Amino acid sequence: MQSVSGAGSTATVGTVLATAPTFTVTDASGNALANITVSVAVTSGGGTLVGAPTRSSAGPTSVGTWTLGTTAGTNTLTVTVSGLTPLTISVTGTPGAAARIVVASGNTQSGLAGAQLTAPLSAAVQDQFGNGIANQQVTFLATAGGGSVAPGLLTTNASGVASGAIWRLGNRGGTQTATATAGSFSTSFSATTQSSYLLDLRYFGSAMSPEAQTAFTNAANRIRAAIVGQISTVSLQGADLAGCRINGLTGTLAENTQGIIIYASVAPIDGVGKILAQAGPCFVRQTSVLPAVGVIQFDEADIQNYINTGRFESVVLHEMNHVVGFGTIWEDKNLLRNPAYILVSDTIPTLTGSLDPRFTGASALAQCLSASGTATHCGAAGSGIAVEQCGTYGTADGHWRESFTSTCGGSNRAPTNFTAAFDSEVMTGYIEGTPNMPWSAMSIASFQDLGYTVNLLAADSYSVPSLMTMARLRAAQEADAGDRPVERLLRPRFIVGGGRVQAIKRGNP
């Protein structure tokens, strides 16, 4: 037997071979013999054969109508004649048109916010039967969480797989996504950001709008992206929330926390203007002073303005920083020098005359210097980072310094005749006019100084303004100096731990 034509040809998987292969059965001299009993059958590749001959022709004999199998690769059929060596005819099935892209590997990983994931992303471009298609361009893109994927464009290999894209998670925390796209098809990868810091957000009071809730969820994700270590479990048995003295917050707890519980609400406080928010820890741990229960309450009359201007998320992140301890447990941790205020009783703040309060944490100081901070901003070793000196109790002593000034004027002690210090950083005491309020590595490092385990990769990029930009910022700031809502910072009221709830006495009772 001899193959005459068609052997070695190619066709798309699952389709009929356009020209059927032929063979002859010959005598010893090579003359084709008709009417010999033959049997033709598919022997590999999973195809089907219709109209296969049962006897040979006087010339080339067609094998019949051969539909190739759906898997790309070799398809064979075998012609058998009694007494002769069987004849095998092979053809190749090639992949069809691209019908989808699927994840090949790298899905559902987890890593620190801002860090590269270990396993590269790879995706396969396939036809309708799942055969990989070579030489297809695949675009990789981080689509949620603020990360990036590089390289962003890869070509599929012989198996149809584009691999080797490295995903660096964004600094947003939470669940993040990336997509791989080929032509009109795409697929997505998800990843979770690692954190062992448990933050339990609980809403109280009247129902919060979905956009306000989203801002809270996103802020909580950012906090958890930055504070990543587990802290001690503490019993809240008997903790009476009414002791926090926040409208609408009541109930007695009977549970443990391994992190922090944050009660959040949007409620009427004092109408448009004046107080925008009150926030801080209420119950803190013994010894470490790390907050166990805190509260954030916004004035419902004021938040829509911030939502409309895209600034609400930054404002919520700012308040959540306070609840976790920024500016609210500094004195308790002995990290504040030269405060502008002292408490002479539990509730009455008195000016000390200091216009140069300083945060003395070493980790934050190092980040202040690496953000191009000058000695004036960051201080020499041991003297600390410039803390807000103006404003009412809480604004002063509880934020990075917005601006350098020699005087604080008016009933709110606003800075006058000032030049920018940390300016747009989200943890300064004044809200910017635009949503660009970076959360710096300096702020995140300050949590390390408080005793948390942190991830500096969760920070936004931030540089301390240079003297040249300061002049420009100063003009811009003075233009919106009138828009200065008031924030009420809450200090810890109770210590929990050792099976007890103890009230904190401040000042000289």
Tokens of 344: 């002479």
Tokens of 285: 């741990």
CA–CA gap between residue 460 and residue 386 (Å, rounded): 20
Closest approach of Cβ 299 to Zn ion, in Å?
14
Nearer to Zn ion among residue 460 and residue 487 (C-beta): 487
Nearer to Zn ion among residue 127 and residue 487 (C-beta): 487
Nearer to Zn ion among residue 189 and residue 263 (C-beta): 263
Nearer to Zn ion among residue 253 and residue 486 (C-beta): 486
Nearer to Zn ion among residue 63 and residue 220 (C-beta): 220
Nearer to Zn ion among residue 103 and residue 481 (C-beta): 481
Contacting positions for Zn ion (CB under 5 A)? 487
Phi, psi of 94 (to 5 degrees): -105, 155
Q: Are 60 and 44 in contact (CB under 8 A)?
A: no
Tokens of 508: 């000289």
Closest approach of Cβ 163 to Zn ion, in Å?
46
Closest approach of Cβ 426 to Zn ion, in Å?
9
Closest approach of Cβ 327 to Zn ion, in Å?
6
The helix/strand count (H/E) of the chain reads as 7, 36
CB atoms under 10 Å from CB of 161, counted, come to 22
Longest dimension (CA), the chain: 122
Which of 250, 307, 306, 112 has its CA nearest to residue 191? 112
Question: What pairing do the DSSP bridges indicate for beta strands 234-235 and 256-257?
Answer: antiparallel
CA–CA gap between residue 210 and residue 213 (Å, rounded): 5
Nearer to Zn ion among residue 14 and residue 415 (C-beta): 415
Nearer to Zn ion among residue 423 and residue 487 (C-beta): 487
Closest approach of Cβ 429 to Zn ion, in Å?
6
Closest approach of Cβ 189 to Zn ion, in Å?
37
Instruction: Tell me the C-alpha to C-alpha distance, in Å, between residue 210 and each of 199, 213, 217, 340, 408.
Output: 19, 5, 10, 39, 39
CA-CA-CA-CA dihedral for 233, 239, 242, 246, to nearest 10: -10
Find the length of the chain: 509
Instruction: Tell me the C-alpha to C-alpha distance, in Å, between residue 281 and each of 83, 274, 384, 395.
Output: 94, 22, 24, 16
Closest approach of Cβ 129 to Zn ion, in Å?
60
Instruction: Tell me the C-alpha to C-alpha distance, in Å, between residue 173 and each of 70, 227, 351, 455.
Output: 43, 11, 39, 11
Closest approach of Cβ 138 to Zn ion, in Å?
45
Nearer to Zn ion among residue 138 and residue 282 (C-beta): 282
Opening angle at CA 425, ends 397 and 173, nearest 5: 110
Query: Please, how many CA atoms are within 13 Å of residue 488, restricted to the half-sphere of its CB?
Result: 16
Give the nearest residue (CB) to Zn ion: 487
Closest approach of Cβ 335 to Zn ion, in Å?
16
